[in-house]
């Protein structure tokens, strides 16, 4: 049984964007996950960028929503479907996922935040693997589940600050502009080199 559409979303005072599905997961970056303490639960804010379009948005998810996503995706690959996805369940079960805890200490919340971000990033990596995408379960159903998770109730992100991307945690710079050494051409423009950095 695949469940979706039950995700708790807190809008605060930001503008909600329509939940357009992501066409391709390639180039989707998770800039940060940060925990917010609500009245009786912890909510995790994800800052997401679709680098192909330059769109950046926020989503808010409770731990239970991450757990539902994990359960739904695992359930898809419970029985082997084809040779493209026969190892998916094994790979999915290898991904670290934080345990449910009754009490939330600062250490538990901090650890959970790091592990949840790593889990979503690992899912994105699996879903964009060209070999696995030959399977219709990966290309359609799993992609749809992850796309809904990343877009439902999304809120426009105003700007990314150093708080969003601490220097030690910058996920990936797709392009870095660098001016090449000055040439001795009089009146000529200096060329700009684009360097693709590995993620």
Is residue 91 situated within a structural domain? yes
Is residue 42 situated within a structural domain? yes
Q: What whole-number distance in Å separates Cα of residue 171 and Cα of residue 122?
A: 13
Determine how many CB atoms are found less than 10 A away from the CB of residue 173. Answer: 14
Is residue 75 situated within a structural domain? yes
Is residue 116 situated within a structural domain? yes
Check pLDDT > 90 for residue 167. Answer: no
E strands of 27-165, at which residues? 28-37, 42-50, 55-62, 155-156
Domain count for the chain? 1
Is residue 81 situated within a structural domain? yes
pLDDT confidence band for 153 (50 / 70 / 90)? confident
Q: What is the pLDDT of residues 87-134, one digit of tens each?
A: 888 899 899 999 988 877 889 999 999 999 999 999 999 989 888 888
Q: What whole-number distance in Å separates Cα of residue 16 and Cα of residue 152?
A: 9
pLDDT confidence band for 16 (50 / 70 / 90)? low
Is residue 196 situated within a structural domain? no
Write out the residue range of the structural domain in which residue 63 sits.
28-170
pLDDT at 163: 52
pLDDT confidence band for 79 (50 / 70 / 90)? confident
Per the rule left: phi > 0, alpha: psi between -120 and 50, beta: everything else, 168 is alpha
Q: What whole-number distance in Å separates Cα of residue 170 and Cα of residue 68?
A: 28
pLDDT at 38: 85
Q: Any idea which residue has 């731990």 for tokens? A: 63
Is residue 16 situated within a structural domain? no
Q: Across the chain, what does the average pLDDT equal?
A: 76
- Can you tell me whether residue 118 is helix, strand or coil? helix
Is residue 15 situated within a structural domain? no
User: Could you tell me what percentage of the chain is helix, strand and coil, using 3-state DSSP and rounding each to the nearest 5?
Assistant: 35, 20, 50
Determine how many CB atoms are found less than 10 A away from the CB of residue 26. Answer: 14
Return the CATH number at 61: 3.30.1520.10
């Amino acid at each position: 049984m695949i469940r979706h559409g039950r995700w708790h979303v807190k809008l605060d005072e930001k503008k909600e964007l329509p939940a357009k599905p992501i066409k391709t997961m390639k180039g989707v970056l998770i800039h940060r996950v940060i925990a917010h303490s609500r009245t009786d639960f912890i909510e995790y804010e994800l800052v997401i960028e679709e680098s192909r379009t330059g769109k950046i948005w926020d989503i808010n998810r409770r731990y239970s929503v991450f757990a539902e996503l994990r359960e739904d995706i695992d359930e898809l690959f419970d029985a082997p479907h084809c040779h493209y996805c026969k190892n998916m369940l094994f790979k999915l079960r290898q991904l670290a996922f934080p345990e449910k805890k009754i009490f939330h200490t600062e250490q538990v919340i901090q650890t959970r935040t790091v592990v949840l971000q790593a889990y979503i990033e690992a899912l994105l990596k699996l879903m964009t693997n060209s070999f696995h995408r030959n399977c219709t379960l990966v290309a359609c159903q799993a992609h749809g589940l992850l796309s809904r998770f990343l877009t439902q109730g999304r809120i426009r992100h105003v700007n990314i600050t150093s708080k969003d991307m601490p220097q030690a945690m910058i996920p990936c710079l797709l392009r870095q502009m660098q001016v090449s050494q000055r040439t001795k051409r009089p009146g000529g423009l200096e060329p700009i080199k684009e360097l693709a950095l590995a993620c």
